[in-house]
Structure 1
Amino acid sequence: MEEPKNLEVVMGLIMHSGNAKSFGMEAVQAAKEGNFKQSIQRLEEANEELVKAHHAQTGLLTQEASGEKFEVTLLMVHAQDHLMNAITFLDLVKELIDVYKKVNVPD
């Protein structure tokens, strides 16, 4: 059975990764509407959430590196999947914002 401390960290990883992805989607929507100031603001919020998710992940990695063993559960794998998807998605969001800027802003 997973320790409550690790469960809290894993849930934080899922939550912050999901928040990052949601802010990323809001950034794309704002760029699509030509509101680049709001788009950049949402992207910054997404990055802040991504940092929080990375901190949660680093905590788990540090525990393991220091010799603390714990069972790898499906929930932990799910959390890692959320983080990796959020990272990939935010990379794509940045590219889409650049495209919208080129489409919406005359040379």
Structure 2
Amino acid sequence: MPDNYEEIIMGLITHAGACKSMAFAALQAAKRKEHTEAQYLLAEADKEAKKAHEIQTRLIGLDEGEGKIPVHLIMVHAQDHLMTAMLARELIAELILLHQNKD
């Protein structure tokens, strides 16, 4: 297990949270008919999701499928954040399309 395990996990939570926040900000922009801003915020959300996914991939690699990385509650919490952020981003992209088509 890496010495900075908690720091790595907090990075996962931070990037996943930023992804979700930016996606919801994009939805608010779309509701205001600021479609360029909405697309920009979705792209920023994607960048944060990519950073979070890279951390997750690194952890999976460190584990090597052998249980080398302990699964503490904070890890479960981080994974939950990532998955809900990714789902929110996908659904919000669809909602933004609906708003654009309505205009």
TM bucket normalised to smaller: over 0.9
How far is 1:61 from its partner?
0.2
Per the alignment, residue 97 of structure 1 pairs with: 96
Per the alignment, residue 33 of structure 2 pairs with: 34
Per the alignment, residue 49 of structure 2 pairs with: 50
Unaligned runs of 5+ in 2: none
How far is 1:68 from its partner?
7.1
Residue pair 2:12, 2:78 contacting (<8 A) in 1 also:
yes
Structure number with larger C-alpha Rg: 1
User: Is residue 25 from structure 1 mapped to residue 24 from structure 2 by the alignment?
Assistant: yes
Is the partner of 2:4 in helix, strand or coil?
A: helix
Residue pair 2:8, 2:55 contacting (<8 A) in 1 also:
yes
How far is 1:4 from its partner?
4.0
Per the alignment, residue 82 of structure 2 pairs with: 83
Unaligned runs of 5+ in 1: none
For residues 67 and 88 of structure 1, what CA distance do their matches in structure 2 show? Answer: 28
Per the alignment, residue 12 of structure 1 pairs with: 11
How far is 1:70 from its partner?
2.7
